Amino acid sequence: MATSRSTSENGWIAGALVFSGRPDPTWPIPPELAEELVAIWESLPPTDTTVSVPVLGYRGCSLRDPEGRLWIAYHELVTHSTEKRRDDERRFERTVLSSAPTGVLPPSTAEG
């Protein structure tokens, strides 16, 4: 399973939070996909909702931009810095996970 932590040419890195005790898988994404994910984020309504994340197993997915800003998505919630947005259709999360190269994610992670 790939666990690349190097930055891609454009610097956008996606990942899945799935392991404890070893590095989580990460992969570079193209700028066009990054733009799509930012557009999804910008379209989501703000929320004060919280979601319980399990200690073990799948805990969400991530997107890091070239400046180091981080988005975390888990089920219907996407966070960025201190801001939270509701994603009832889980578009952000599913778009990140579907961008993973074949074999990078454990089989149970593909749908989040």
CA distance 55 to 35: 31
Mean of pLDDT values over 50-66: 92
**What whole-number percentage of the chain has pLDDT above 90?**
75
Which amino acid does the sequence have at 93? Answer: E
Q: Are 1 and 103 in contact (CB under 8 A)?
A: yes
Average pLDDT, the chain: 90
Report how far residue 37's alpha carbon sits from residue 49's, in angstroms, rounded to the nearest whole number. 21
Whether the per-residue pLDDT at 61 is higher than 90: the answer is yes
**What pTM value is reported for the model?**
0.87
At 53, the pLDDT band (50, 70, 90 cuts) reads confident
| Section 32-36 average pLDDT | 98
Question: Quick one: which of 71, 43, 60, 70 has its CA closest to 97?
Answer: 60
User: How much is the average pLDDT of 36-64?
Assistant: 95
